[in-house]
Amino acid sequence: MSRMVSKRADPTIGRALCDIAEVSAALYCSKRHVIRMAERGLMPPPVRLGSLVRWQRGAIEAWIQNGCPAMCAKKEVANAS
């Protein structure tokens, strides 16, 4: 007996981790902007699985619900020139 899957079913249901495409779609921004925010500590840190970079879905959803506050912004280093 084959199991029918609805074409409208959300493929992200039940998944604990999301990739950069899903994060950028949730934030309505580019993938590059997500990378910049992560590098600057402005969003929840990613989880690295070998060469893969993923974010905890719950952490991203909670962060968005809280208005996207900076997580631990790195201080900018002043140029000595």
Q: Is residue 51 part of a domain?
A: yes
- CA dihedral defined by 66, 31, 51, 42, rounded to 10 degrees? -30
pLDDT number for residue 13: 63
| Domains: count for the chain | 1
Query: In terms of residue numbers, what domain contains 38?
Result: 17-65
Report whether 39 contacts 58 (CB < 8 A): no
Q: Is residue 10 part of a domain?
A: no
Q: What is the pLDDT along the chain (81 residues), one digit of tens a residue?
A: 555 555 555 666 668 999 999 999 999 999 999 999 999 999 999 999 999 999 999 999 999 999 999 887 555 544 544
pTM of the model: 0.72
- CA dihedral defined by 51, 15, 58, 71, rounded to 10 degrees? 10
Q: Is residue 28 part of a domain?
A: yes
**Residue 60, Cβ density class (10 Å: 0-12 exposed, 13-18 middle, ≥19 buried):** buried
pLDDT number for residue 36: 96
Q: Is residue 2 part of a domain?
A: no
pLDDT number for residue 77: 47
